Structure 1
C-alpha cells in the first residue's frame, strides 16, 4: 500500500506511528503511577526514563556517521567496516538520503521536551538527555558543515584524514559516554556541553 508513496512521506508516517506508540506507553506508565499506592518523585530515575533518554542520541550519532564516519571508516580494518555495513550503515544511508528527517525529529524533540509549555510532564532526566542530544546534533552539524566544504585534496590528505578521524572519535566518544550514563541512570558531565544543558534547564525553572 505504501509502495507508491515517496520515501520521505513513508519516513514521516513511520515517525508518527513511533511517536504514537511511545506516547501510548508513556501514558500507560503514568496511569500505573497514578493508580499505584507507591508515590514517585519526579526526580526519581525510572527504567522508562533511562530508555527514553537513550533514544534521542540516535540523531547526533547518525549525523556524526554521515559527516565523518562514511569517510574515515573505509580506512579501518575490513572487519570493522563489515560490521558497520551490516548494522549502522543502512540507517546512515536512509538518514543521508532524507535530510529533512533530521529537522523533523529535531523540532519534534524541541516541541515535546524543550519548550516551557511542553505537552509531556516534566521528567528532568529525560529532558536533560534530550537537550544534550540536540546540542550534540547541532555541534556535529556545524562541524560537518565546516569540514565538507574543505578542498577534496585536503580532506583526502593525511592531515585531512587525521582531522576527520579526530572529529569522528569526538562524536563517538561523547555519544557512547552519554549512553552509558543514561543506562546507569546518571547525568553525563561533558565539559561545556553538559553545563550548557544545565543552564538551559535552570533558566526554565
Structure 2
C-alpha cells in the first residue's frame, strides 16, 4: 500500500504548480494581447472594407446633383432608365434635403477626423473617410464653380463637354476608390490621396 505524502509537501507542490500555471497563462495572455493589438492595427477586415465603402455615397450624391442631372438625360435611354430605377430616388431625396449633406459631413468629421475620436482607431477606415470627405469638398467646389458660369456657356456644347468631363472625373475617382476598398488596398488618387496621408500623419 502506497504511503501518503505529508500535508506540507502537498501544499508546497500545489502552490508551486499553481504559480507555474498562473505565470504561463499570464505570459500567454500578454503575448496574445500584443499580437491582437498589432493584428487589429495592421489587418484589414471585411468590416473595414464594408465600412470604408459607405462614406463614398456622400461625394457620389454630390457629383450626381452637380453634374449627373444635367448630362444623364442626354445619354442612351437604357442608361437613363437604370439611373431612374436605382440612384435617382436617392439623389432627389439628397437634393430636397440640403442639410443632410452637412450633417453627414460633420458626423464623419466628429467620428473619424477629430483627434479625440470616440471610434477605435482603424487606419483603413479613417483613410477612406478622409478621402471621401475631400472628394465631397472638391465636388462641392467644382459644382459651385460650374453653376457660377454664365448660363449661355453652361447650355452650350462647350458647357456640356465641361460638365460631362467633371461628371466622369467624379464618377471614375469614386469607382476607383470603392474598388480599392473592396480589395482591401489603399487608393492612390494623385494629390487627393497624398493630402489624406499628410492629414493622417499630422494627427499621429
Asked if TM exceeds 0.5, the reply is: yes
Q: How does 1:6-85 map to 2 (within 5 A)?
A: 39=36, 40-85=39-84
User: How far is 1:102 from its partner?
Assistant: 0.1
Are residue 180 (structure 1) and residue 185 (structure 2) matched? no
Structure 1 match to 2:130: 131
Structure 1 match to 2:195: 196
Query: What do residues 45-87 of structure 1 show as CA deviations (whole Å, max 9, x unaligned)?
Result: 0000000000000000000000000001011101000000000
Distance, in Å, in 2 between the alignment partners of 1:86 and 1:138 is: 27
Query: What do residues 87-125 of structure 1 show as CA deviations (whole Å, max 9, x unaligned)?
Result: 000000000010000000000000000001000010000
User: How far is 1:43 from its partner?
Assistant: 1.6
User: How far is 1:41 from its partner?
Assistant: 2.8
**Structure 1: gaps of 5 or more residues:** 1-35
1:148 is paired with a residue whose SS is helix
Q: Which has the larger radius of gyration?
A: 2
Distance, in Å, in 2 between the alignment partners of 1:159 and 1:152 is: 12
1:42 is paired with a residue whose SS is helix
Structure holding more helix per residue:
2
User: How far is 1:149 from its partner?
Assistant: 2.1
Query: What do residues 138-169 of structure 1 show as CA deviations (whole Å, max 9, x unaligned)?
Result: 00000000001222211111000000000000
TM-score, normalised via structure 1 length: 0.81
TM-score, normalised via structure 2 length: 0.81
Q: Which runs of 4+ in 1 moved over 6 A?
A: none
Q: How many residues align?
A: 170
2:40 is paired with a residue whose SS is coil
Distance, in Å, in 2 between the alignment partners of 1:197 and 1:157 is: 36
Structure 2 match to 1:104: 103
Are residue 142 (structure 1) and residue 145 (structure 2) matched? no
2:172 is paired with a residue whose SS is helix
Give RMSD over aligned pairs: 1.3
**Structure 2: gaps of 5 or more residues:** 1-31
